[in-house]
Amino acid sequence: MPRQRLSRLLTWTAVLLAAGSAYAVFVSVTGLFIPCPFRQVTQLLCPGCGVSHLCLALLHMDLPGAWAANPGLFLLLPLLALFLLYRAVCYVLRGSSPLSRRESVLVWLMVLWLVLWGFVRNFI
């Protein structure tokens, strides 16, 4: 079973990387980005506004550019990456399992961080 789960995880990771790469090439060639529906409706920046610019800057190893695109998300990325890696390893070894209490608290703290960041970037 772990081998099947690893294969499934790698397949979906490859699909996501291919989609992200295709989007990065599209943006690089055309200069067109997917607009944020939240921003279009409210004229406010959502916590994720600038994520495309952040990712493109990271692809070019442009850390100052990534920071300028979305500092709140930039600070959260290392923790989010470690959490997702941990959950991927757990999935491969044990299969799908509900989040532990600590994991749930961590997820809610990350959500709270993004909500606070959305408030700060618009009103402070």
Question: Average per-residue pLDDT in the chain?
Answer: 95
Which amino acid is located at 46 in the chain? C
pLDDT of res. 94? 93
Rounded to whole angstroms, the Cα distance separating 61 from 56 reads 9
Kindly report, residue by residue over 77-110, the tens digit of the pLDDT. 999 999 999 999 999 999 988 999 999 999 999 9
Categorise residue 62: left if φ over 0, alpha if ψ from -120 to 50, beta otherwise.
beta
- The residues spanned by each domain of the chain are 2-123
Answer whether 64's CB lies under 8 Å from 72's CB.
no
Say whether pLDDT at 1 is over 90: no
CA torsion sign for 50, 82, 118, 38 is positive
